[in-house]
Amino acid sequence: MGAGLNGGRTIGDVVLDLQGISLAFGGVQALQEVTFDVREHEIRAIIGPNGAGKSSMLNVINGIYHPQQGTVTFNGVTRHSVNTHKAAVQGIARTFQNIALFKGMSVLDNIMTGRNLRMKSSLLAQALRVGSAEREEMEHREAVERVIDFLEIQAYRRTPVGRLPYGLQKRVDLARALAMEPNLLLLDEPMAGMNVEEKQDMCRFILDVNDQLGTTIVLIEHDMGVVMDISDRVVVLDYGKKIGDGTPAEVRGNQAVIDAYLGISH
Amino acid sequence: MAQSDTISGGNVDTFPLLLLEHARKQGNRIAIREKDLGIWQSWTWAQVGNEVCALAGGLAELGFRRGDSLAIIGDNRPRLYWAITAAQCLGGVPVPMYQDAAASELQYVLQDAGIRFAIVEDQEQVDKLIECRERSPGLEYILYDDARGLRHYSQPFVRSLDAVQDLGCGRIGKQPQFIATEIAQGKPEDVAIMLYTSGTTGKPKGVCITHCALINAARGGCAFDRLGADEEILSYLPMAWVGDNLFSYAQALVAGFTVNCPESGDTVMTDMREIGPTYYFAPPRVFENLLTQVMIRIEDAAAIKRGVFHYFMDVARRCGAEILDGKSVGAGERLLYALGNVLVYGPLRNVLGMSRVRVAYTAGAAIGPDLFRFYRSIGINLKQLYGSTETCAYVCLQQDGHIKLDTVGIPAPGVEVKIADSGEVLVKSSAMFKEYYKRPDATAETMDADGYFHTGDAGFFDQDGQLKIIDRAKDVGKMASGALFAPNYIENKLKFSPNIREAVAFGHGRKMVCAFFNIDIGAVGNWAERRNIPYSGYTDLAQKEEVYALVRECVEKANAELALDPALCDSQVHRFLILHKELDPDDDELTRTRKVRRGFVEEKYAVLIDALYSGKTSQFIETQVKFEDGRSGKISADLRIEEAKTYPSAAAKKAA
Amino acid sequence: MRKNFNMIVLGVALMAGLIAPLVTGASSAGFYTEVLLGGLMAGVLYSLVALGFVLIFKASGVFNFAQGAMVLFAALSVARMAEMMPLWAAILLAVGIMVALAFVVERVVLRPLVNQDPVVLLMATLGVTYFLDGFGQTIWGSDIYEINLGIAKEPVMILGNLFEGGILINKDDVAATVAAALLVILLALFFQKTKTGRALRAVADDHLAAQSIGIPLNRIWVIVWSLAGVVALVAGVVWGAKLGVQFSISQVALKALPVVILGGFTSIPGAIVGGLIIGVGEKMAEVFLAPVMVKAFDLAGGGIENWFAYVLALLFLLVLPQGLFGEKHIDRV
């Protein structure tokens, strides 16, 4: 992984800043006063035991949940609540823990949907396939082909996604998100349910995306080993509170983290 | 060497000259395609000519000289094929290597061939070669085709082929005649390519093949099957295999047809459907995989579809191969086959991407008769050829209309084949390798004073003059009568039954052939249970009278088949016994890859062999065995020895 | 295997019923073909209404009970406005009304009820039904109105040389069929070839994922309800031209129910094939089966067309719960 690299990417300024996020469902406090930031080009992991609030955090960033308190600042724009559509327009893409692909469509069509926001031609022009629309479709198709090439799924373009094995479905999920050419990529347990070989492939792809496309990545993951290997900085959540934040080495040495996370999970 | 009688094509007798000729005569036709980003990109012969010249110029700028070797590692990519020609332009020797080889394996070849330049496909290969370079600093440049992931590699010896071609264009700009002059210095007797063969023993050897030999093999093959400039092929076999070199490189340059490079290893089947090749070459395992994939899809299909498929496959089995061979078949069957062609075989050929295939070859290993017949029966003209790296994969070819399941055809044009007294197949041809690189001893060992190459295979010609390969020559012995004794061939015939797990035949220096058997405990155990035959374990089951009868049936069936062949008639199994224990790698009776260690078994069970040949009807034996938990113990039994019916030879029957 | 067997039995029984009048000599070939064609034409109308159901169900999971009311409302609008302006202008204006209706429904009904139980949404569409029925009568009146497409109504005789007496066929029926076929082709193109079509399919498959890639759910709902409105308009115009615009048109929705059951709730081809099957089945039953039953059981007769479609749909439901073309997802875990 990354052997022989001299580290071409440089971590930039803060692109995503979360301040004092609190989120409750009825009486359940999912997140309490969580504050952390994400810098440009970095791989930022959110870890924690089950029920720690990792997914809730991701859904706040993505605009699915609206926190009761706190602010989310993305690319300098602060918002209290945003819907998913607006998040997508701002350049935030995501994958899902329990793959949420469009099962009735082929791999190619699934990835093409990722280009939806970028397509401009009018409905009529598309339906009639007039010149400019045709050209636009070709341009987007080319972008999609680059993603297909990048994630090495050329063999499955026409396959209905429902027929693919799990590991490949996860890859298509990532491909659809990449087709959006996002500034910020949210990965919800990208390695969940994979075998060792699939995990290695996925790690390689995540690192490649980060390195070659320069995409900022926030990922939540249960598998500690993987996270420590590929992340630049790690946030640790436990019962909705932040209990640790720093480089993998720092987090590993943090007593609160060892007690709360490593202690009980192993 | 027999290079004097070349099938000459004027003085266009090196590969660079062939390329220049195509660029001149059919410059606007497509020479090569590659699927990239979902689209087939293509290059004309004229474009390929320019690309190759630029590449050659760049290599020369970097210091590649006449006689240097150029390693080529990667999947089938246009630029890697061009690299072969580019090296040849400069009088260098391309050395394609297997792309899945580990760094240590590459290391050996790099050192053995003294390689200074390598052209590779991608980051994976670059990484391997950087690792190799730490121990073989002789490697001066690593040039790559696909830049993905290589952006941060700052080593000065790692360069992109784009940069090299830019250098080359600069050189040609200054010295327009440079490449042409270099090409003109090339001679047909120069080594065109070096292919490493693993061989069965020892370190890999570099097989040096001249332009003239490879061109002769390609011309002969093209003439034999009337291949022309209109063929389309898909190049997906490893470039380091002689088969790909002959098929995708030599024949493509000789006949001037179009080569198509698939998008990736996973997409071969889809790409094949899109291209619809007319000429196809694959080792048996590829045909087997294709068939398996088709069968899986059929089993998933609806009941009606499945029923139709199986019905018409039965029809094809009965008459398909005969129809393809142009033999006479009843009108009813013909009509059914025509219907099947519309409903099943046509769509099936389409799924396989073989709708347009006119000639398909398999080689590299023996193909199962059922598999072979399957493809022929659905109307695909699949044929076998016989050859090796040393003979440019060009010794015997099957002729259209004269296909047999168990022969490899007649000697190809320009090839002389004879059978040594030992049964070994000897070959003399104008398409013969020059030598093993830096291994005169090995060259002398396989090439005799009369110019015959010793293939190491044993075989014979059947009544129709077709060559039949039966065994490795070193395993073949002689019976007391002087007849050939090919144990592997006999054992494979015996093992054809699912009930027989292992067979060991004896006969070298004896009057008759006798054999040991291991039954397959799963298959025979099942069989016994269905018949309510009680047994306590392998040893007990093996000695049952009914089981002996079962095995005898298999032996007699094999005998009947052996009797049909005059050369093998004496190899019929007369007496046999079923061993009291299964041959086991833990007891050193089998190798770890489950091949019988013949010598060891012969020694260990000498007493049983004596009993077989002395006419006894039973023999007591006690054997030390190691159990799985590491303890050892003894198995003993009174083994039955039985006789099997043998048949008079076909020739004898005719006489009588 | 067992399911296949049931399907084959049902298929054979239906085919037998279909050809029975012909082989038993109960009908001449010419008359039989006439009945068959009549059934197909009626089927086209059922298909159109069912299509509206399927579109909305596919994209939003809402079972739109108001589809029938939309057909009536659209037909009423066209009929009454055509009295004041040329027909084409009335139709164009009606399209605008249907799109406006879609906006209102999204804003007033769907958006406030998002993420509610499907039953709640079904009730809401029931409300829309009564509103549309009433509102339509309030502004357009409750008499029987005509839509004159300018196509002569007298039947034409075709295939006179093939069958004795030829086959009688209505020109307006032919026009209706052509219009319906065109609409279906346009819809198919729209779904398969445009980014909006792709977005619609995406939303139908997974709301959350569709939102995450920036597909705005609200806009998609408006588009789908507009499409369903346009389909309702075509159905209303065709039906109204044939039978007159009256309240009973909204009952057509009830005929479309067995059609979607038969064809599958999420399948456009299912809606079309289902409509044709119901149309033909009903006509055949009415013309050939009813007299036989009346005779055999000494019944009063009539009314078979009111229940036959449901029985047919029930039979299918027993054998194929997901309908003829319903999607069976192959999921791997």
Kindly report, residue by residue over A205-226, the tens digit of the pLDDT: 999 999 888 899 999 987 777 8
| A103 contacts on C by Cβ (under 8 Å) | 205-206, 329, 331
pLDDT band at C249 (very low <50, low <70, confident <90, very high): confident
Q: How far is it, in rounded angstroms, from Cα C8 to Cα A179?
A: 45
**Cα separation, A79 vs A92, whole angstroms:** 14
Q: Which of A4, A8, A145 sits opposite B127 (nearest CB)?
A: A4
Contacts of A165 in chain C (CB under 8 A): 332
Q: Which residue of B has its CA nearest to A144?
A: B37
Task: Please say if the pLDDT value at position A7 is more than 60.
Answer: no
Determine the Cα angle at A197 with ends A191 and A198, to 5°: 40
Q: Which residue has the tokens 């990835």?
A: A111
Residue of chain C with shortest Cα separation from A109: C198
A233 reaches C (C-beta below 8 A):
no
Rounded to whole angstroms, the Cα distance separating B464 from A213 reads 65
* C141, pLDDT greater than 80: yes
Within 8 A of B131 by CB-CB distance, chain A residues are none
- Inter-chain CB proximity C1 and B303 less than 8 Å: yes
Closest residue by Cα to residue B472 from B365, B555, B625: B365
Test mutation, A99, A102, A144, chain C, max C CBs within 10 A: A102
Sign of torsion, CA A127 A131 A137 A140?
A: negative
Distance in Å, alpha carbon of C265 to nearest chain B alpha carbon? 23
Give every CB contact of residue B62 below 8 A, 6+ residues apart in sequence.
B117, B140, B141, B164, B167
Q: Looking at per-residue confidence, does C26 or B286 come out higher?
A: B286
What is the distance between the alpha carbons of residues C319 and C312, in angstroms, rounded to a whole number? 11
Contact at 8 Å (CB) between C65 and C260?
no
- Give the chains touching B; criterion: ≥3 Cβ pairs < 8 Å: A, C
Local confidence band at C332 (pLDDT 50, 70, 90 cut-offs): very low
pLDDT in tens, A54-93: 889 999 998 888 888 888 999 888 876 678 888 898 899 9
CA distances from A29 to A26, A66, A80 (A): 8, 13, 18
The 10s digit of each residue's pLDDT in B74-111 is: 999 999 999 999 999 999 999 999 998 889 889 999 99
Q: Does A212 touch chain B (CB under 8 A)?
A: yes
Mean pLDDT by 10 residues, chain B (656 residues): 40 93 95 92 96 96 95 96 97 95 91 95 94 91 92 91 95 93 94 85 87 96 94 94 94 96 90 94 88 81 82 90 87 91 92 93 83 92 93 93 89 94 92 94 91 92 90 86 88 85 91 93 88 89 93 92 85 93 87 81 93 91 79 86 87 62
B303 neighbourhood in chain C, CB within 8 Å: 1, 4
Does the predicted TM-score (pTM) go above 0.80? Answer: no
- Cα A145 from Cα B175, distance rounded (Å): 40
User: A225 to chain B nearest CA, in Å?
Assistant: 24
Mean pLDDT score of chain A, rounded to an integer?
85
CA distances from B52 to B140, B254, B600, C262 (A): 21, 17, 56, 64
Q: Which residues of A touch C211 (CB under 8 A)?
A: 64, 83-85, 88
ipTM confidence score: 0.81
- Burial (0-12, 13-18, 19+ Cβ within 10 Å), B445: exposed
What b/e readout covers B412-441, taking b as 16+ CB neighbours within 10 angstroms? bbbbebebeeebbbbbbbbbbbbbbbebee
What pLDDT shows up at residue C1?
45
Distance from CA of A140 to the nearest CA of C (A): 11
Beta strands of B373-423 (E only): which ranges? 382-386, 396-397, 410-411, 415-419
Q: Is the pLDDT of residue C73 over 70?
A: yes
Nearest residue, CB atoms, B37 vs list A4, A142, A152: A142
B303 touches chain C (CB under 8 A): yes
**How many other β-carbons are positioned within 10 Å of the β-carbon of residue B615?**
9
Q: Which residues of C touch B302 (CB under 8 A)?
A: 4
* Neighbouring chains to A with at least 3 Cβ pairs closer than 8 Å: B, C
Q: Which residues of A touch C216 (CB under 8 A)?
A: 85
A264 pLDDT above the threshold of 60: no
Residue of C nearest to B303 (CA): C1
